[in-house]
Every structure is written in structure tokens, then in C-alpha cells.
Amino acid sequence: MRSYLDWLKEENMSLFTDFYELTMCASYFDNNKFEPATFDLFIRRLPENRSYFLFAGLEQVLLYLKTVKFTEEHLAYLKKQGFDQQFLDYLRDFRFTGDVWAAPEGTVAFPCEPLIRVTAPIIEAQLVETFLLNTVNLQTMIATKASRVVNAAKGKAVIEFGLRREHGVDAGMKVARSSYIAGCHGTSNVLAGFQYGIPVFGTMAHSFVMSYENEIDAFRAFAKTFPNKSTLLIDTYDDLAGAEKAATVAKELEKAGCKLGGVRLDSGDLAEISKKVRKLLDDKGLQYVKIFASGDLDEFKIAELLKNGAKIDAFGVGTKLGTSADKPYVDIIYKLCETMGERGKFSPIMKLSEGKVTLPGRKQVYRFKDENGNYSKDMIALVDEKVKGEPLLTKVMEKGKITYDLPSLDEIRAAAAENLSKLPAQYKKLTNSQPYTVELSQDLENLIKNLKKKLRKTSQA
Amino acid sequence: MRSYLDWLKEENMSLFTDFYELTMCASYFDNNKFEPATFDLFIRRLPENRSYFLFAGLEQVLLYLKTVKFTEEHLAYLKKQGFDQQFLDYLRDFRFTGDVWAAPEGTVAFPCEPLIRVTAPIIEAQLVETFLLNTVNLQTMIATKASRVVNAAKGKAVIEFGLRREHGVDAGMKVARSSYIAGCHGTSNVLAGFQYGIPVFGTMAHSFVMSYENEIDAFRAFAKTFPNKSTLLIDTYDDLAGAEKAATVAKELEKAGCKLGGVRLDSGDLAEISKKVRKLLDDKGLQYVKIFASGDLDEFKIAELLKNGAKIDAFGVGTKLGTSADKPYVDIIYKLCETMGERGKFSPIMKLSEGKVTLPGRKQVYRFKDENGNYSKDMIALVDEKVKGEPLLTKVMEKGKITYDLPSLDEIRAAAAENLSKLPAQYKKLTNSQPYTVELSQDLENLIKNLKKKLRKTSQA
């Protein structure tokens, strides 16, 4: 019997691609088109309420590019799909041999800025498109969303709790990773703890409480097992009655020289209930018992709770973070921006489809800072221009070899925090943020004007 | 260097769980709580605009339950997380030994109806919660969404095209699988073709067209490689100019005894453009050339296109299907409904949290049909009641062994089509569908009333 995961192998990722990548490559091959080309991976526009992106996913992209290849089993399958033998023989030896420039993970980015730039023989550059988009879409979307949630929590801890509703196994892992990059304190996903070293958190569910005849028996049983780190879920039947019982257990623990960790609220009006629970605990001298809240939270609800004076010490944020529920994708694309022409020289190109215009040529992104070191504007320019700002893209792969010292997850997380701190507050509001300025250099503007003229002529020819 | 997928192994799925499952289980263990309990997996409510669910994901659930176990590496990690040695020794021998009843994949389902019912020693039943929810959430959400898209397309082919923006590798596979179950003709995901035998489709991207100096050169190059199955993307510069060139290539192919397959539109007003392109092609005797449309489609846009007389033969539906963008999760939960009491007898239980009340007891779902064999209403009842309708849940696992003949993907797809055809049209509208009737049996109503009384008393005790 087939396993439910037996396709999830690194060696199978060459087929983790849209069919059209292969038909295009077959035709490039058939037409002897092996010349290099450059593709930009970027996000076309900001989703509603977002005002920046937090870039994530590069590590997985580089490891994929380093390892992608076809097995005999894959080639046999592709043969049945009608591809001809010469192309299949080419695929047998396929390796990615291109150059890649990219922004580091944890970079704050804006629409139309290339995040990854791939220069490779056009067949290679084309074939890897789908995996790159899939990986960067998910992680950048989640890192961006998580950074908003963390920002809304104003220094209170945020734990990523969405595993049960994230989109499958890989999403569960990448959501934990990118949420951690964005500043979450940890995750409920134990496998992400095991694999990535992310701190894991969690206590008890309603079912645990319900499995005991009396709520306080459940609390006592749990406290017996975890006498110094229990967080008791108090809303199964009635919040305040639950809080009373938690307080009783806390006092019992004190007698044994132990301390209750906290209580968790998971339903109802969390602001009001948390205030009552805080008072109840404080009145009994249990100031040290933390209040943890969960239940359908996102950045908007957290901001409202804090505005309403909620007495909450940490937030568990699940589904709405783990699926980026208000916008479960970013408008990420991978577009050809130059090809090598007949005389071995690269020529910039662009497309004109309605609402889908692209930026031509090989480009770099420059960031400008104000006198305090905060971000003031960006400029997208052609690589051979002289621009004063700080360049965002660095070389990460040369001729298919990683030339970049992959940072650890904690290093990426620290870089993200540092970068977000340099983005002024007016660009980080939950709604109606001021748009950040991204300019095109004069040379790029001129190139676009000239190409548009030329293309309009060509398409009418 | 770590691979980007090396955690995606079947043997690691025991850690693919929320940390609280493990803390609860540790406490059950510590308190000698091994008695069996029953959990229901169900969806609490319908998302906006949805009027039914199409259940999918059971196969992956059963294969997981059959194989879940802990390795020494996992146990070493858990030891570092503070679990005690006796519990770790218990986990070393952990296997799932319970009974499972479930609806077959492709079943049309409604809120609060148990889709999977697990009866097992409470530690086992608890530990598997997260994987079950994660798997069924994704696949049921996507199958439901895809069935709406297929329904809107009124018999025209729908291809699932969302791989690049689906949430990671596993989502890419499970979206292809559940979209196919729901009636999509195929997918762009080649790995899903390789692994599941789902038909794969795709032609060319804008980058292919742009990589040639002239659009028509790109068309000719592609048609050379695929002389009888090319679909040419005609909107890179200008739809109608592109259609003219495609027609020229079609005529050239005719001279060689071949036929152009189709043209693809990917931007602009698809209804208007498709009519103009159809006329242009027909005027040249190219009635056989199909028009394929893509670009930000979902069930609402497809319905509108067809209402506006679009001349489109097939739809490629990407991001909005592959992420279920208007509602990227279902409110799926896994709730304890009975525990074994002191005298070795099961007792029904429920919770009372605000807005989160559950149905107690071990239950079956019965479906009633009208005189034409169409679905008329469902009833949720206790298993020992006599009810006349057709029971939806069947035994699929006994003592940890699969006792169910897992249907093939094509069998599941056929069952889904059959089931959806029996759901009357008033329950399948894209918006404002009539709510389908799901009743609770009298015995279940009585049980709830009595338990509520008892619980309110207990919680005040």
C-alpha cells in the first residue's frame, strides 16, 4: 500500500512543477534554444492592509536548486506524457547551473522589487519557476502576516498555534519557520521544534478537562504531572468558575513549593473576562499566574484587546495566522526580464498584457536611509547604474553552487527584527499605512519607454 | 547541509502534532488514565456562501493511523522538552490500536455531522488529533471549493492550476488530489500526475513568447515541437493581434496535416475578448481551435463569464481554488463525546463554552432521500437508536488495522459526482443556497438537555 507521503521526497521535486514548464522546455530544446536568460521573482502588489513584505523562503530555494534532478522513473513517466526521447535524455543530465542573486531572508520588501534574480540557460531558469514561487509565496506571506501580529501584540509573546488548519504537512513546517522569523516566540508544532529548534508551547485542550468528572480533578491531574509549568484551560464550562478552581489548585501547588504557570482563555469576550480573571487571581495573591489567550485571534483582534485594556500576557494565534486568512496568497510572479540576443549580448525585455506590465533588464534594488538610519525610500535600477543606496540583492549562487553562508534561523530572526525596527511606524500600521516610496531609476524609466514603443510596433507587425 | 524536505518523512509524523497533545497524554499516563474514549471529527459551521462540504482526506488519515510511531531520535528530543522517562518508554511502544468509523471520501456533508469517529484509549485518540484535523481540513476545504467551481463551469472542463501559490509541497499534492475528486479534469502539477495518475495539462507562459523576438516565431517554435497539441498564449502583447498570428500558425499546421489545439487568454475582459477571438478563428474556418481561459478565476467569475456569453471551452483555475481564497480554512474540530466511566461503561459528555457547544455520545448520521432518490434531509442520532435513513459512517479501522477496501482515486471521484448529483440544485447555488436540513434525533435532544442541566450544576459546584 502506498504511503501518504511517499511522493514527498527531495528527489521528486523536479516533477513538482507546472506541466507547462516542461512543454516550454521541450520546445526550447527542440528549437536549440539554450542561451541564458534572466528571470525576476517579485510580488506585483500589496494585499489589502499590508504595507510591506517580510521576505522568507530563500534557504529552501537554494537547497532545491542545488539538488533538482530527474530519476529514471520520472523520465519513464514523462515519456508516457508524450515527450520525445532526445529531450528526456537531456533531462537525465539536467542540473541547475545558473547564477542567483537574492535578498537575505528577513528583508523588508515592497511591490515590484526583485527578491530573487535567476540568470541561467533559459531551459533551466524556466524549469525551476514553480518550486521557487510555491516556496517564497508561502513563507513570505506568513512572515509578513506574523510580523503584523507580533507588532500588534506590542511586546507580549505570540505563539503560532495554527497547525491543525494549515494547508498540509509542508505548510505546517514552513508556517512555523516563517512565523518564528517574523518574531513569534514559538510554535505548537512539535516537529518544527524537533527539526528547526523552534521553542514549542502548549498545555491542554477542552477534551482533557472533559475527560474528568469534575473540572478541578482535571486541573489537579495536570498539575500533578507538570507542577511548575501548568497552564490550565478554564473556559470549558464557565470562565470564572474555572478561574476559581485554578486558583484553588495554585494554592495547593504553593503548599508543595510549586507554582502554577498560567490559565488559558479560549472563548467569549477575552478583554472583559481577562480583567475579571486577573482580579480574581490577584485578590488571592496569585499575581505570578499568567493569563494566556487564544481563540480566533489575529492582528486586528489583538490590537483591539490591548486597546480595551485586556489583562493578557501572551497570545496563541492559530488559523488566521497559519493560513494568512484575510489574504491567503501574495501576488508573486517570476518574469523574464532579459534574454541573450543573437550576438551574445543580453537584451532587456518586458510584457504588455493589461495590468501585468513587467520591469525589463537586469536590476538591483537600493535602499536609502534617513539621518537616524531608518528606511526612507527604495530605488529599482539597472545593475550597471551607479546608485548611492544600499543594494539589497547579493550573489547567493554561482554556476549552480551555493556561494552564500546560509544564516541560522536565529540569525534570520534577528535580522528580521533589526530590519523591521528600521521601517518607520507610519509604514507598519495595521490599516491605512502610508505607502513607502519605491522609485524607478531614470535609466530604467527610459528603457521602459523605449521598449514599450518598440513592442507596440512589433505586435502590430 | 540539511535538506529542505528531510523532515517530510512518514516516520516523523508522530511529532507533527500540537505540543499540548503530548502534555495531555503525559498527564493521562501519569494519572493512569488509559480507558477508551470517543472523539468526533466534524465541521462546526458553513463558511459564507458554502452550503455543503465535500468530504476528502480519509485515505491519508488511515495510512497515518496505521503507521504512526516514535523513533529514538524523537524520544531524545522529547526528553529534552522535559517529559519523564516512563512516559517516553510508553511512547517507544506507541501504536494506534483504536476503532475508526468514517464517511467515505466524496460524501456530501453538513455542519456538526461526524465525518470521522475515533474510539481508542484516550492517550491514543488524543495524540492523533492534529494530523487528522490538518489533513481533513485541507482536502475537504479544497474538494468543497473545487466542486463549486466545477458546478459553475456547467460541464466545461476545469483544470486546477494553482500549484505556484498553494501552501507548500504537501498542499500542492493534496489540492490536486481533492480538486480531482471534486470533478476537475486535471491539474498542472506534474508530480500529482506521476503519483496519483491525475491527468496533467499546460502549455506555455508569457516568458516563452517573450523569449522570441517576434510573437509568431514563438508560436511557430512551439507548434513545431507539439504540432497536434499546441495551445498558444495570445495575450502577451495584444489579444487580437495574437489571435491573428495563432490563426496564421494554425493554417501553416493544416498544410502539414496537423491541427492547432487551442489558444489561451490570461488577462483583460475574458467574455468580450473570447467572443472576438472566437469570431476571428471561425471566420478563418478554425472552428476546431479551442479557447482556453485563465487569470484570477473562481466560481463567481466563471458563472459571470458564462452568463455574459463568453466563448470559452475550458477554464484554468489557480490561486483562488488552490488556496480556497475566499475562506482558506473550515471550522473543523475534533471533540471528545464519550469517556469510559468507572464501571467500564461509556458515558456521553459535552462542553458548554460560549458558541462552542458539542454533541455528546457515540453517534451515526442518517441520510433521507425523496421519491427520486435525491437527498432530502439528514439526522444525527445515537448509534443505538433505530433510524430509517441510510447511515453515512462505516467501520474503516478495527483495533488499528484498516478493515476498509480503500477505493481508487477514480472511484472516489465517481462517488463524489454521484453524491453531488443527488444533492438538489437549491442546495448548490453559489450564494444564498437554501439551508439543508440536519435534525437531531429525539434521543440525542433529550441527552443534550439532561447533560446541560447536570453540567451547569457541576460547574457551579
DSSP code per residue over A384-406: TS---SEE--EEEEETTEE-S-P
* Residues linked to residue A121 through DSSP beta bridges, in sequence order: A36
Question: Which secondary structure element, helix H or strand E, spans residue A103, and what is its range?
Answer: none
Give the C-alpha separation, B106 to B178, whole Å: 9
Pick the residue of A2, A20, A73 with the most B CBs within 10 A to test the interface with B by mutation: A20
Task: Find the residue in A nearest to B214 (Cα).
Answer: A458
**Which cell numbers hold the place of B59?**
485515505
CB within 8 Å: A138 and B167: yes
The answer to whether the CB of B63 falls within 8 A of the CB of B396 is: no
Do B451 and B348 have their domain in common?
Answer: yes
Asked which of B267, B293, B319 is the last residue of a domain, the reply is B293
A448 assigned to some structural domain? no
Judged against a pLDDT cut of 90, whether residue A237 lies above it is answered with: no
Distance from CA of A119 to the nearest CA of B (A): 14
pLDDT at A281: 98
The answer to whether the CB of A7 falls within 8 A of the CB of B191 is: yes
Do B129 and B77 have their domain in common?
Answer: yes
Q: What is the largest CA-CA distance in chain A?
A: 89
A131 assigned to some structural domain? no
pLDDT at A3: 78
Q: Which of B248, B459, B224, B253 has its CA nearest to residue B349?
A: B459
The sign of the dihedral angle between the CA atoms of B255, B257, B258, B263 is positive
The answer to whether the CB of A7 falls within 8 A of the CB of B195 is: yes
Asked which of B275, B293, B311 is the last residue of a domain, the reply is B293
Chain B positions in Cβ-Cβ contact with residue A348 (cut-off 8 Å):
none
Among A249-258, A332-341, A361-370, the minimum mean pLDDT is found in: A332-341
The sign of the dihedral angle between the CA atoms of A373, A374, A379, A383 is positive
Do B104 and B214 have their domain in common?
Answer: no
pLDDT at B15: 97
Written as one letter, the residue type at B82 is: G
The answer to whether the CB of B308 falls within 8 A of the CB of B271 is: yes
Query: Measuring CA to CA, how many Å separate B394 from each of A388, B102, B104, B338?
Result: 69, 5, 8, 19
Task: Find the residue in A nearest to B10 (Cα).
Answer: A5
**Which cell numbers hold the place of A314?**
501572551
Distance from CA of B390 to the nearest CA of A (A): 30
Query: Measuring CA to CA, how many Å separate A214 from each of A237, B349, B454?
Result: 10, 12, 11
Residues 6+ apart with CB under 8 A from A149: A158, A182, A184, A297, A298, A299, A302, A315, A317, A321
A195 assigned to some structural domain? yes
Q: How far is Cα of residue B123 from the mean position of the Cα atoms in its chain?
A: 28
Reported as a single tens digit per residue, the pLDDT across A173-190 is 999 999 999 999 999 999
DSSP code per residue over A1-59: ---SSTT--GGGGGGSSBHHHHHHHHHHHHTT---EEEEEEEE-SPPTT---EE---HH
The residue whose grid cell reads 484554468 is: B316
Written as one letter, the residue type at B399 is: K
Give the C-alpha separation, B200 to B184, whole Å: 11
Written as one letter, the residue type at B254 is: E
- Looking at the partner chain, which of A78, A81, A353 has a beta carbon nearest the beta carbon of B206? A353
Do B289 and B343 have their domain in common?
Answer: no
Distance from CA of B71 to the nearest CA of A (A): 12
Reported as a single tens digit per residue, the pLDDT across A156-170 is 999 999 999 999 999
Q: How far is Cα of residue B317 from the mean position of the Cα atoms in its chain?
A: 15
Three-class secondary structure of residue A409 per DSSP: helix
Q: How far is Cα of residue A128 from the mean position of the Cα atoms in its chain?
A: 19
Chain A positions in Cβ-Cβ contact with residue B2 (cut-off 8 Å):
63
A386: left (phi over 0), alpha (psi -120 to 50) or beta: beta
B114 assigned to some structural domain? yes
pLDDT band, very low/low/confident/very high, at A55 (cuts 50, 70, 90):
very high
Task: Find the residue in B nearest to A78 (Cα).
Answer: B194
Give the C-alpha separation, B333 to B346, whole Å: 21
Within A31-162, where are the H helices? 58-67, 72-80, 85-92, 122-127, 129-152
DSSP annotation of B189: B
- Looking at the partner chain, which of A1, A20, A330 has a beta carbon nearest the beta carbon of B203? A20
Range of the domain at B65: 47-142+337-460
Do B115 and B219 have their domain in common?
Answer: no
pLDDT at B343: 77
Ranges of residues in chain B whose predicted pLDDT is under 50: none
Written as one letter, the residue type at B31 is: N
Chain A positions in Cβ-Cβ contact with residue B324 (cut-off 8 Å):
328
A365 assigned to some structural domain? no
CB within 8 Å: A168 and B164: no
Do B363 and B272 have their domain in common?
Answer: no
Q: Which of B318, B242, B320, B319 has its CA nearest to residue B274?
A: B242
Three-class secondary structure of residue B223 per DSSP: helix
Strands B375-382 and B438-440, by their bridges, are: parallel
Asked which of B268, B293, B318 is the last residue of a domain, the reply is B293
A205: left (phi over 0), alpha (psi -120 to 50) or beta: beta
**Which cell numbers hold the place of B271?**
467574455
Give the C-alpha separation, A65 to B15, whole Å: 28
Strands A290-293 and A262-265, by their bridges, are: parallel
pLDDT at A355: 64
Question: Which secondary structure element, helix H or strand E, spans residue A128, and what is its range?
Answer: none
Over chain A, what is the mean pLDDT? 95
ipTM surpassing 0.85: yes
CB contact burial B236-270 (16+ within 10 A = b; e otherwise): bbbbebbbbbbbebbebbeeeebebbbbbbbbbeb
How many CB atoms lie under 10 A from the CB of residue A390?
12
Residues 6+ apart with CB under 8 A from B406: A1, B59, B62
Chain B positions in Cβ-Cβ contact with residue A241 (cut-off 8 Å):
459-460
Strands A262-265 and A231-233, by their bridges, are: parallel
Reported as a single tens digit per residue, the pLDDT across A188-228 is 999 999 999 999 999 899 999 989 989 999 999 999 999 99
The answer to whether the CB of A332 falls within 8 A of the CB of B165 is: yes
Question: Which secondary structure element, helix H or strand E, spans residue A331, and what is its range?
Answer: none
**Which cell numbers hold the place of B323?**
488556496
DSSP annotation of A17: S
Give the C-alpha separation, B64 to B139, whole Å: 15
Number of domains in chain B: 2
Three-class secondary structure of residue B96 per DSSP: coil
Chain A positions in Cβ-Cβ contact with residue B266 (cut-off 8 Å):
353
Chain A positions in Cβ-Cβ contact with residue B26 (cut-off 8 Å):
225-226
CB within 8 Å: B134 and A163: yes
Written as one letter, the residue type at B427 is: Y
pLDDT band, very low/low/confident/very high, at A416 (cuts 50, 70, 90):
very high
pLDDT at A341: 76
Give the C-alpha separation, A406 to B1, whole Å: 10
Task: Find the residue in A nearest to B11 (Cα).
Answer: A5
pLDDT at A458: 65
The sign of the dihedral angle between the CA atoms of B221, B225, B228, B233 is negative
Over residues A227-240, the mean pLDDT reads 94
pLDDT at B301: 98
pLDDT band, very low/low/confident/very high, at A424 (cuts 50, 70, 90):
very high
pLDDT at A459: 59
CB within 8 Å: B203 and A241: no
* Residues linked to residue A54 through DSSP beta bridges, in sequence order: A108
A162 assigned to some structural domain? yes
The answer to whether the CB of B192 falls within 8 A of the CB of B198 is: yes
Give the C-alpha separation, B202 to A130, whole Å: 13
A336 assigned to some structural domain? no
Q: How far is Cα of residue B100 from the mean position of the Cα atoms in its chain?
A: 20
Chain A positions in Cβ-Cβ contact with residue B31 (cut-off 8 Å):
221, 224-225
Q: How far is Cα of residue A53 from the mean position of the Cα atoms in its chain?
A: 9
Give the C-alpha separation, A82 to A127, whole Å: 17
Helix, strand and coil content of chain A, in percent to the nearest 5, comes to 40, 20, 40
pLDDT at A373: 96
Task: Find the residue in A nearest to B237 (Cα).
Answer: A352
pLDDT at A318: 97
How many CB atoms lie under 10 A from the CB of residue B297?
24
Radius of gyration of chain A (CA): 26
- Looking at the partner chain, which of B126, B165, B171 has a beta carbon nearest the beta carbon of A168? B171
Q: Which class for A275: exposed (0-12), middle (13-18), buried (19 or more C-beta within 10 A)?
A: middle
CATH of the domain at B220: 3.20.20.70
Written as one letter, the residue type at B239 is: D
**Which cell numbers hold the place of A300?**
486586528
**CA end-to-end span of chain B:** 58
A309 assigned to some structural domain? yes
Give the C-alpha separation, B461 to A200, whole Å: 35
pLDDT band, very low/low/confident/very high, at A456 (cuts 50, 70, 90):
confident
pLDDT at B359: 94
Do B360 and B273 have their domain in common?
Answer: no
CB within 8 Å: B353 and A201: no
B92 phi, psi to nearest 5 deg: -55, -35
Strands (E), B303-374: 314-317, 332-340, 346-348, 363-369
Distance from CA of B172 to the nearest CA of A (A): 8
